[in-house]
């Protein structure tokens, strides 16, 4: 049997419409200045490497984020995030990691499933914080779960951040003076 229909031909009008649709889709992907440069994306914060000035800025940013998080999720009481969370390095790094994950998962370029990914991370971090906090004396006093943690004392907070910046400056100086190139550990302060 012989095929008498011959080769299939694409309708030029339909082909042009498909081409225009693809060009339009690409244009939307690269609107304005195009997609964000990878260099412009903020990397996660690695607390041990923060310089004193960076630490001061990160402390303020993290505190604001934690306070907003507790406001958004009222079940995050003192059993999960103690009032003195910033004095516990594990809490600091877990909360910073959760904040960094939120920033990436809710970015304009994140896929549609990213919000679910953030909520999975939130669940894991919340469980870890609850476990860690249960082992702390500062989080052991029972309060009604409907009450929010007390706000951080501003003078205590300022003193803590100043002391942290001073420790980091001292470590940076000690590291610079260490003639053998050894690194002096830096990070969130130990309680």
In this predicted model, what pLDDT tens digit does every residue of 69-83 receive, in sequence order? 999 999 999 889 998
Are 48 and 93 within 8 A, CB to CB?
no
CA angle (70 as vertex; 107, 49 as ends), nearest 5: 60
Q: Is position 179 within any domain?
A: no
How many structural domains are present in the chain?
1
What's the token pair of residue 165? Answer: 């910046």
Q: Judge whether 87 lies within some domain.
A: yes
Two tokens, residue 31: 């609107």
Q: Is residue 25 part of a domain?
A: no
Q: Print the domain residue range for 79.
A: 53-140
Q: 171: Cβ–Cβ under 8 A, 6 or more apart, which residues?
A: 184, 185, 186
- Residue 165 forms part of a structural domain: no
Q: pLDDT digits over 24-50, tens only? A: 665 665 565 555 554 455 788 888 889
Q: Residue 165: is its pLDDT beyond 80?
A: yes
Residue 142 — very low, low, confident or very high, per pLDDT cuts 50/70/90?
very low
Is 57 domain-assigned? yes
39 is written with which tokens? 């260099």
Residue 118 in domain: yes
- Regarding predicted confidence, which is higher, 166 or 28? 166
If DSSP codes are grouped into helix, strand and coil, which group holds residue 47?
helix
pLDDT bracket for residue 131 (50, 70, 90): very high
| Residue 172 within any structural domain of the chain | no
In a domain, 115, yes or no: yes
């Amino acid at each position: 049997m012989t095929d008498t229909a011959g080769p299939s031909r694409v309708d030029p009008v339909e082909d042009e419409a498909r081409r225009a649709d693809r060009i339009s889709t690409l244009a939307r992907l690269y609107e304005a200045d195009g997609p964000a440069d990878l260099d412009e994306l903020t990397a996660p914060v690695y607390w041990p490497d923060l310089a004193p000035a960076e630490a001061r800025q990160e402390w303020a940013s993290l505190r604001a984020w934690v306070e907003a998080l507790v406001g958004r999720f009222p079940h995050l009481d003192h059993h999960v995030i103690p009032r003195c969370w910033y004095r516990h390095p594990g809490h600091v790094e877990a909360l910073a990691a959760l904040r960094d994950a939120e920033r990436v998962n809710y970015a304009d370029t994140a896929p549609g499933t990213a919000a679910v990914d953030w909520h999975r991370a939130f669940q894991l971090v919340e469980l870890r914080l609850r476990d860690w906090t249960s082992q702390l004396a500062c989080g052991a006093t029972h309060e009604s779960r409907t009450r929010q943690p007390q706000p951080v004392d501003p003078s205590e907070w300022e003193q803590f951040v100043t002391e942290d910046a001073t420790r980091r400056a001292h470590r940076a100086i000690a590291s610079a003076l260490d003639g053998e190139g050894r690194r002096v550990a830096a990070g969130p302060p130990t309680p």
